[in-house]
Structure formats: C-alpha cells, structure tokens
Amino acid sequence: MRLFRWETLKVLRDWKVRILLAALILFVATYSTLYQNRSVELPIEETRAQYTDTQDLFRAIPQEHFETETGQDIYDRLARQQSILGMQRYILSEKEGNTVEGLEEIVSDYVDQGIEMAENQLYFHAADDFESQELLLTFMPSEIEINNRLKFLNYLKENDVAIDWNPMSPSLVLYTLVNIIAGVFIYIIAAIFGADRFSRDQENNWSITQGLPYTWKFQWRQRTFISWVLIWMTLIIGILISYFVSRLSTDTGTLMYPVQLYDGESAVYISILQYVVMTLLLAMALSYVIIKLSTGLSWVFRNIYLTITIVVAIFFIPYIFTIISPLGSWNPFLYIQLLPMLEGEWADIGNVNIVKMLIAIALFYILIEILFHFIFKLIPTRTGRLERRKN
C-alpha cells in the first residue's frame, strides 16, 4: 500500500491520462444521445414490410397450387399471417405494450400472435408437398431464425415482458453501448493506458524509481491494477450516466428485455441486465490481461506507438480462423475477441462457450506472467550509459 498511493498519484497527475479519462467518460456518457440521433428501422416498419411481402406472395403463387389440401392449409395460414401482421402493426403503433387497452378482444396479444406466426412459418418449411414451397420460403426466415424468434417470444411470455416498439429505448441503447465497449474499443483503451506506464519512468524519472525496494514484477502488477481500476471506474460511471440520460428522454423498454446469447452451438435468450453484467465482467477479465501485456511491453520497448500497435494487432488474431481452421473450440485465440463468441460466430466450430473463454483468459494471464518473469530478469532496459541489472 505504501507504494500504491504514489503510483496512483503519478498516473492521475499525468495530463495524458486525465485527457484520456475525460474523453472516455464524455464518449460513453453521451453515447445514448449520439445513438438517438441515428436513423434506425422501427419494428413497425419491419412489420409493414412483412405485410407487403405476404400480400405479394398471394399474387406470386399460382392460384392452382392452393387447391390441394396442403395448398388450402397454406392459403389459410398465409391469410392468418396477414391478419396478424395487420394487428401487430396496430399494437406497435399504439405503443402501449403487447396489446391495446380496451381492444384486447379484437387485436389480441402481440406475443401470442408472434408465436402463432412462427409456428405457421415452421409449417411452411415442413410443407414439402406444396408445389410453390421454394418460392414461399424465399419470403420466410430460416428455420434457425424462426426457432430463435420462438425462444424470444416465449421469453417475453414467461417473463411477462412487453414487446419494445422502440429500438432506441434506454435498455437497448445500453445493450449496444456494452457491445461497443467489449469490442476493439477496450483493446485500444487498454493499450493506450498501459503503453507508457513504465516508459515514462524509464525515460524521465529513472534515478528515482530504479532503486525502490520493490521488484519490477510487483510494480508491474500494481501499475496494471491501477490502470484497470481507473479505466473501469470511468467506463462504469459513463455507462450509468448514459443509461440515466437516455431514461430522461424515453421511458420505454426494460432491463428485463430479452437479448440473444450463444451458448455453445445454440442461442438462448437472457435479459439485457444479465447480458450487460456478464459481458462487462468478461470484458473486465479480458481487459486485465490486455493492460497487463501493454504495461509489460512498455517496460520492454519504451515506445508508446509500438506497444499500442502490437496490443491492438492481437485483437485481430481471431480473424485468421475465418480463413484457416482453429482446430477445435479449445483454441484459446478464439477467445481473444468477446463478441464473436457471444454472437455465435464460432457456432459452426461447436461448443465455443463462456467457461472455455474464462479458461483461455486464465491461460493468457499465466503465459504473460511467465513471459515477463523472464523478461524482467533478462532484458536490459533504459539504453544509455549503463546496462540494467539482470533481475
């Protein structure tokens, strides 16, 4: 603790750090305002497009194809789809929730209707004896998408959550913001923060810091921890400000709203709150390792640009596996990026999951510890008159 206070003060007195923290909080805290100025497609517009598609299907499919028993069934279901879409358009336009007060008997419930629509769509996929099935399916989502939609609607039903007519609701903005932070953003921030934690001391304050009665490894760990705490304190404050600012302007949505998460090969739906907490915890764990590496490299290179470049380049390693095989879900480099795993981009590989990601992060932590154990022993630093001691 006797060194911790001074290391923290050194970081906080650094103008570059102050500017970075200010910029970070400004970006994150105002994200909801920026996001709400974007033009996005509202769910009601999507429903309107689907309504038109269904209408076009009636025109495109030859009338005689509807004359078989299956054809008649499909005709009835398509008609029902169109009726449902019309009512869903109305429900969304009223912005009251899953139904419209006073008209429950007429417009029914958005979720129940959605489940019925999804079941109809699955029926279309199964109707192999329908002559225009191929044409019909070009207007339909894939079976995987329909099953995911069913999971989504069932989640709404089981948890009594209303459909959100507004894609800019505070909870959905929060979801988007957390996804941005968990991507390359956290790599860049971690790289910048760690990149001169040692180089500044070595270049400007060497005679003060070289003789401290603490090992370099101890100082490295402490500096990593300080940067990590500062980054995440700023990010969490920024996220909270962003969320509450967006709640001031919009009161729709709920943190219990479902979002998709890939667990291994299949999608599950969890609440935005669960997703945000889980993603932030994973990003925190991953960022600790990145800051550790960046801080360590600043000892080796004493060059901020080189350190940032190397650390950010590591982020792109998983893209290699879109070209060559990763040789299984245990490849730790698959987990260098958080979002592809959560979004199911590695679903084809099979069983890429959060537990394996945590194991991969622990493995990277140990590898970096071992690497820098030798680096602090062997690599001379601070070029100039004297060679550094070798431990």
Partner 1 sequence: MPLEIKDLTISYGNHVVLESINFSIPDGNIIGLVAPNGTGKTTLFNAIIRFIPINKGEIRVDGQAYKNTTKDVRALHEKITFFPDQAELYENFSGYEHIEMYRDIWKGGKGDIDAIVDRLNMAGYVGDKVNSYSLGMRQRLCFAMMMAADTKIMFMDEIMNGLDPVNVELVSRILQEVKQEGKIIIVASHLLENLDDYADQIYFLNNKDIYYTYDRKDAQENFIKGNIGPEHYQSIDTLPEGTLYLNRQRICIPTKTLTDADKLKLMNRLQEGGSESVTIGPLGTYEHYLRIYKGVES
List residues near partner 1 by CB under 8 A. 2-3, 5-6, 9-10, 13, 204-208, 210-215, 217, 377, 385-391
For residue 123, give both structure tokens.
Answer: 């029926």
Smallest gap from Cβ 376 to partner 1, in A, equals: 8
Q: Where are the alpha helices (DSSP H) in the chain?
A: 4-12, 15-29, 31-36, 43-60, 69-94, 104-107, 110-126, 133-138, 143-158, 170-180, 186-194, 199-204, 206-209, 216-249, 272-301, 304-315, 339-342, 354-378
In the complex, minimum distance from the CB of residue 7 to partner 1, in angstroms, rounded to a whole number: 10
**Closest to 162 in 3D by CA, of 174, 153, 170, 171:** 153
- The residue (of 15 and 305) whose beta carbon lies closer to partner 1 is 15
SS3 of residue 209 by DSSP: helix
**Cβ of residue 3: shortest distance to partner 1, in angstroms?**
6
Place of tokens 């969490």: 236
CB-nearer residue toward partner 1: 20 or 256: 20
Q: How far apart are CA 125 and CA 57, in angstroms?
A: 15
Minimal distance, residue 200 CB to partner 1, in Å: 10
Q: How far is the CB of 231 from partner 1 (least distance, A)?
A: 21
* Closer residue to partner 1 in complex, CB, 208/324: 208
In this structure, the chain runs to a length of: 391
- CA-wise closest residue to 56 among 87, 76, 82: 82
In the bound state with partner 1, the residue whose beta carbon lies nearer, of 11 and 267, is: 11
Which is closer to partner 1, CB of 139 or CB of 206? 206
Note whether 288 and 224 are within 8 A (CB): yes
Based on its alpha-carbon atoms, the radius of gyration of the chain, rounded to whole angstroms, reads 27
Question: Residue 32 or 381: which CB sits closer to partner 1?
Answer: 381
CB of 189 to partner 1, least distance (A): 23
Phi, psi of 213, deg, nearest 5: -80, 50
Residues 285-303: b if buried by 16+ CB within 10 A, e if exposed: bbbbbbbbbbbbbbbbbbe
Nearest distance from C-beta of residue 41 to partner 1, angstroms: 50
Query: Which one, 21 or 156, has the nearer CB to partner 1?
Result: 21
Smallest separation (angstroms) from partner 1 to the CB of 380 = 9
Separation between Cα atoms, residue 242 and residue 31, nearest integer Å:
6
